[in-house]
Amino acid sequence: MTDIIREHTNDRMSQLVIHGDTVYLAGQVAHPGASVTEQAKGCLEQVDALLAEAGTDKTRILQAIIWLDDMADFAEMNAVWDAWIPAGAGPARACGEAKLATPDYKVEFIITAAK
């Protein structure tokens, strides 16, 4: 049986969970109140750091789920995503609109990757 490793854990959740060769990240948010561009950049910086901690990187992302508080920001978020994701390494991806934890958050990224 494969062990489950949980990192950056509190009573509610873990920011990083590793099971076998699969890495799961909690939803990443950043810079409350900032623009969609700044929040997306901050989220993806956190994704990079957590993936590195798990021994992998953005070229190994299997799936990305992105929540926007307003789909009117889709193009702005995509500009950040497109500049960040390596050519040829696009994962399975979904993006939808949802109320996030607070009105100060405009975007949240949920990532699953291979080691």
User: Which tens digits make up the pLDDT trace of 57-104?
Assistant: 999 999 999 999 999 999 999 999 999 999 999 999 999 999 999 999
pTM of the model: 0.96
pLDDT of res. 95: 98
pLDDT of res. 2: 78
Instruction: Indicate the SS3 state at residue 2.
Output: coil
Closest CA to 80 of 38, 110, 34: 38
Tokens of 53: 């901690």
Confidence grade of residue 37 (pLDDT, cut at 50, 70, 90): very high
13 to 1, 8, 56, 57, 88: CA distances (angstroms): 22, 8, 21, 22, 32
Residue with token string 């699969």: 22
Does the pLDDT of residue 1 top 90, yes or no? no
DSSP-derived letter for residue 48 is H
